[in-house]
Structure 1
Amino acid sequence: MERKQISDGVYLTVLPAEQFHRCRISINFIWPATREWATAEALMPLLMERCCADCPDMTLLSKKLARLYGASLSVDGVVNSGSRVLTVAVGGIKDEFALNGEQLSSEYATLALATAFRPYFVNGVFDPEAVEIEKEQLRELIAGEVNEKRGYCIRQARRKFFGDSAAGVERYGYAQEVNGLSSEQVTKAFFRMLCTARIEVMVLGADAAAVEQSVKQALVGLERKPDALPQAFARPAQSEQSFEEPMDTAQGKLCLLFTSGQPQSPEQLSAARVAVALLGGTATSRLFVNVREKRSLCYYCAASYASMMGMLCIDSGVEHQNASAAKKAILEELDALKNGPITEKELNDTKRSLKNQLAAVTDTLQGMENWYFGEILRASLLSPQQVMEQVDAVTKEDVQNVLRTFTLSVSYTLTKGENAHV
């Protein structure tokens, strides 16, 4: 991996991708998430993906991508640890596979940068007609989140967990604000992003020099003052808050969120990876073997970890009448791992599974990009191979020390219970 700063708040990361026939260029804008701008910022990716100044309608953009041997363009936005992230990505075949010697890397970079920096405007603002169309799409995204019950339960728990903090800002904004959005508001949000965001350009398999030159040209004349990004933080430990939401479904959902009270340091991260995998991240984990297989208290039970927020998530699909028993069993397994014996076999099995997952990171361009982008945000910049070595060195005591930092903060259940409350 090669990484350098090319302007104030603008960085270029080049990842080797010799094993692939395709390449990928992504432009990632990162800036502090705020409640005030959330809904306008949520609408931006939908508008930017439609067209740009160089291809001012969807038909022209589709033809452009087809001429580039079926290249792909995507624009997506998320909220990550208190930051809003908007990603413009273009992918396609590498230059050497072009039939007529076209410089595809330059074409990809030009298209990505036009999408990122020069959207299609009408009289200086986003096209009002397009804004109205995409507002309807945004309303559908917000309303449709309840359709996937597992993700909905986790999001509801996170809303209680993060409250009014920046990490709790909604990815898709707020339904009550969508109707009132204007082209002018979304345009202001766009230029605010251009001027204040940190920009991370990632190049995988494309001509890095061509991309760098294109980025520098796109920045000419742009007055930027990048904001500092939020520091890693964790919710302080406190008494559990328990919530139930009535939902007439065949299967109930349970989500438990724990806090470590402080973000894990980079030195603790590999131990946390092993600990969470041992708890509920593999087919040999305690939760899978004991809660699901032996006790038949759930359909699935999995653990995941957000290192920058010090948050452990355990979520499960359960029969409605088994929700309390499943929660009790999950907490018992966590306590047993914190304070009881851990066999060499289960520790080694967990490490092997983790290392297999790490080895698979380089199997896809998207996997490589996701890994190193996460490392950039953590200011860690470790390769999967380096993390494998750290995983090998994790001891039983390391696992227990990490798990002992977690306390239950929020439990959220989707249930048929008549006395459910939120």
Structure 2
Amino acid sequence: MAITSDIVKKRPGYNLHIVKTEKYKTNTLVFKMKAPLTADTVTYRALLPYVLQSTTETHPTSTELRSYLADLYGASLDVDVAKKGEYQIISFAMDIANEKFLSNSAPILAKGFELLMEVVFHPKKDGEAFESATVLKEKRSLKQRIQSIYDDKMRYSTKRLVEEMCENEPYALETIGFEADLDKITPELLYSYYKKALSEDEIDFYVIGDINENEVEELADKYVSLKERNPERIKPVQKKVEKEREVVEKQDVKQGKLNIGYRTNVLYGDEDYYALQLFNGIFGGFSHSKLFINVREKASLAYYASSRIESHKGLLIVMSGIENKNYGQAVEIIREQMKEMKQGNFTEEDLAQTKAVVKNQILETADVARGLVEILYHNVISGMSIPLDEWLEKTEKTTKEEIVKVAQKIECDTIYFLTGTEVQS
């Protein structure tokens, strides 16, 4: 089955990705800026997109900007900051109506281009600084988001596991940044960093929908103005496990959070990446997996139990919520499931079911324009070019033996347990 792929056009300072499809009723524009994760810049990058999406030269207040979006037949504008491997990625995304479905053929795509590029390139500023009121407001919001992680114990425990497991590696950094660094960021410093990011980041611009390739190129050439750069490409830090670690943290919590981090020694694009995806599906990725059935259902030890892989860093993370007193037993059963996988104790039926779910998950993600961008963007992060068809085909062809083989590479690195203060560990 042919899956939509992107046509990549090299432009000064960035890559333009044109994805032609009649699948969606709207057109989607996604502008991505990628740079290595560093402690010095992580908080700047966490703050920057929120300042940029607040106001522009032409729309100097948030109210005016949002009102103009509403006038564009309810266009949406969102920003996001994410971590893929040891890169931090800023995304600006806009969904706009396709003018083919409008009674009057207003140039909506051109207006969308103009507005998104104004957000990125023409912010409201005060000399060589961002407007101080906007920066202050967004710093306050970011501080609240940073503080809220502590209250979300599921997210907090995953963050703490990664910090412990990847100590002294860039991946240990949380993309949301540091509260302590926020106070030091002035409107002048943030504006200076913004100019640096625009001149140095690896930039990819996706335009998706029922679009005309020539029109998209003309609009891009009109509204996107960037200088050539040689963006820094980094390889994720890959460490061998010398000794398994156990970290127990105590807080006033009723439900314990048991998270276990493994090194898979496999990255996106590696030949055995497809086997790793299926391994994760059988082990803990889905509701039919070993963790869900054996830890949660049969032993009734966990409120939730699942696993996920970080494709660009080579990690497998198990997350579970348990009664504090069940720690030892839960660790034992999770270890047992890993051992079962390494020994090939799963059926061809398990494998067939997992292949179907993995394939369905990929297709469902690609069914939404922004999801399709995330799938295509894997290739930018990895510096590879794997069409979606090939991904699905190689997943389908993966054998049980290949999954057992990839399982042998997986090593337990760190066990992290957040438990109540009343429990003796």
TM-score range, shorter chain: over 0.9
For residue 373 of structure 1, give the secondary structure of its aligned residue in structure 2.
Answer: helix
Q: Say whether the 8 Å CA contact 2:269–2:384 is kept in structure 1.
A: no
Distance, in Å, in 2 between the alignment partners of 1:395 and 1:105 is 46
Pick closer, same or farther for the CA change 1:395–1:262 going to 2, 3 Å. closer
Q: Partner residue of 2:352?
A: 348
1:249 corresponds to 2:223? no
Per-residue deviation, 1:107: 0.8
Pick the aligned partner of 1:215 from 217, 220, 234. 220
Deviation at 1:285, TM superposition (A): 0.9
My pick for the range that moved more, 139-148 or 339-348, is 339-348
Distance in 2, matches of 1:163 and 1:420, equals 26
Aligned partners of 2:267 and 2:273 also within 8 Å: no
In the alignment, what sits opposite 1:108?
112
> Which residue, 60, 67, 74 being the options, matches 1:70?
74
Letter of the aligned partner of 1:44 in structure 2? L
Unaligned runs of 5+ in 2: none
Distance 1:38 1:361 in 2: 28
Q: 1:9 to 1:410 in 2, by over 3 A?
A: farther
Task: Report whether the alignment pairs 1:80 with 2:114.
Answer: no
Alpha-carbon separation, structure 2, partners of 1:286 and 1:328: 13
Q: Distance in 2 between matches of 1:95 and 1:280?
A: 44
Q: What is the distance in 2 between the residues matched to 1:166 and 1:303?
A: 22
Match of 1:325 in 2: 329
Please tell me the residue identity of whatever aligns with 2:219.
Answer: S
Alignment length, in residue pairs? 420
2:272 to 262, 268, 271: 268
Distance in structure 2 (CA, Å) of the matches to 1:23 and 1:184:
35
Summarize the Cα distance change of 1:164–1:212 in structure 2 as closer, same or farther, 3 Å threshold: farther
The farther-off stretch of 70-79 and 225-234 is 225-234
Query: Is residue 155 from structure 1 mapped to residue 159 from structure 2 by the alignment?
Result: yes
Q: Give, in angstroms, the shift of residue 295 of structure 1.
A: 1.1
Once residues 121 and 173 of structure 2 are traced to their aligned partners in structure 1, the CA distance between those partners, rounded to angstroms, is: 24
TM-score by length of 1: 0.94
Structure 1 residues 226, 171: CA separation in 2 closer, same or farther (over 3 Å shift)?
same
Secondary structure, in 3 states, of the residue corresponding to 1:126?
A: coil
| AA aligned opposite 2:191 | T
Structure 2 counterpart of 1:368, which letter? L
Other structure's SS at 1:167 match = helix
In the TM superposition, 1:65-214 aligns within 5 A as 65-205=69-209, 206-214=211-219
TM-score between the two structures when normalised by the length of structure 2: 0.93
Distance 1:264 1:17 in 2: 26
**Alpha-carbon distance, 1:212 to partner:** 2.9
Q: What letter matches 2:218 in structure 1?
A: Q
| Aligned-CA RMSD value | 1.9
C-alpha displacement of 1:265:
4.5
Range 89-98 or range 257-266, more displaced: 257-266
Structure 2 residue identity aligned to 1:364: V
C-alpha separation between the residues in 1 aligned to 2:50 and 2:424?
Answer: 36
Q: In structure 1, what is the Cα distance between the partners aligned to 2:170 and 2:258?
A: 24
Structure 1 pair 264/91, CA: closer, same or farther in 2 (3 Å)? closer
- When residues 386 and 33 of structure 1 are mapped into structure 2, their CA distance, relative to the original with a 3 A threshold, is same
Q: Is the Cα contact below 8 Å between 2:32 and 2:91 reproduced in 1? A: yes
Q: 1:153: how far off?
A: 0.7
Q: Which moved more, 1:228-237 or 1:58-67?
A: 228-237
In 2: Cα distance, 1:369 partner to 1:263 partner: 19
Give, as a single letter, the amino acid of the residue that structure 2 aligns with 1:413. Answer: F
From 45, 54, 58, give the equivalent of 1:54.
Answer: 58
User: What is the distance in 2 between the residues matched to 1:178 and 1:269?
Assistant: 38
Measured against aligned partners, the alpha-carbon deviations of 1:66-86 in whole angstroms (never above 9, x if no partner) come to 110010011222232111211
Q: Distance in 1 between matches of 2:187 and 2:304?
A: 44
Q: Provide the residue aligned with 1:300 in structure 2.
A: 304
